Amino acid sequence: MSKKTKSKLRIKPFALIASSIKEWLRNFNDYTKLVLVVAIPVAILTILQSDGNMGDFGLTMAFAWSFTIIALIIFAYGKKALPNAKITTIYSLASGRFLQYLGVTLVLVALVLPGVVGWLAIIPLLSQQGSSALALLILSLVGIGLSGHLLVRFSLAQIAAVGAQKSVYQSLKNSSKLTKGNRLRIFFGFLAILVVVFLIANGIQLLLSLNQSINQNIYINNILYVLEASVFLPVIYIYQVKILEALNG
């Protein structure tokens, strides 16, 4: 019986990715509006800042994008209950779930730090020799692996905190429990999405680099920024909602 139960909980990440893309296309207008309400002002502010008209607004931009992510999760998680909800309604709901989202996000940022430090240390260590350099290289790889494992383990915490309205602790605990036995599959699913995002983004950048004037045109770059955000952000968070739904049965 336990084996049968386990087999039911084995997700198919690539099927879920395909389902996420279909979900995004079915509700294209709604997801796009949720992103554009923040992406367009951010793009405009980026252009104004480049002209020296504004100071640094990195924190404000991160704050604004946080609300977009929360709104996307709310809509993806509760789309059946919010079929005709206005953008203002969804963003109003997002404001009520910001603290839970922030708490989980801060935990995830802390978990990614060993991986970031390890990654930054690897390149200079590769050119060094000796037992100490080897030990540091191994330590760096351990840091990357640890961060990767923890991020996958708690990859559903944001969805649980925002969509299921759980506390920070409950969200982390729930994610840890649900992802058990599927973490490698979840990892490969996220890896596939990131590889596609990387290839498309760098492919576009390569095409732009063929024409120097276009490549350095801040208006074109910000239009692409808005378009990429409108596609990739919804798909990534729909995918996470799909995983949570699949694991919850």
> Looking at the domain assignment, is residue 4 inside a domain?
no
Q: Report whether 161 contacts 100 (CB < 8 A).
A: yes
148 has a pLDDT exceeding 80: yes
Do the domain assignments include residue 236?
yes
User: Is residue 73 a contact partner of residue 50, using CB atoms and an 8 Å limit?
Assistant: no
The letter for the amino acid at 228 is: E
Number of domains in the chain: 1
Distance CA 122, CA 144 (A): 10
The predicted-structure confidence for 22-43, as pLDDT tens digits, reads as follows 999 999 999 999 999 999 988 8
Please report whether residue 176 resides in a domain: yes
Contacts of 144 (CB under 8 A, 6+ apart): 114, 115, 118, 119, 122
Q: Please check whether residue 235 lies inside any domain of the structure.
A: yes
- Has residue 3 been placed in a domain? no
d(CA 66, CA 72) in angstroms, rounded, equals 10
Structural domain boundaries, residue 41: 11-248
109 in any annotated domain: yes
Domain assignment present for 39: yes
Q: What is the pLDDT of residues 175-194, one digit of tens each?
A: 999 999 999 999 999 999 99
What pLDDT, in 10s, does the model give residues 72-131?
A: 999 999 876 666 678 888 998 899 999 999 999 999 999 999 988 888 877 776 666 767
DSSP run (H or E) holding 2: helix 2-8
Burial of 29 (0-12, 13-18, 19+ CB in 10 A): exposed
Residue 1 in domain: no
pTM: 0.86
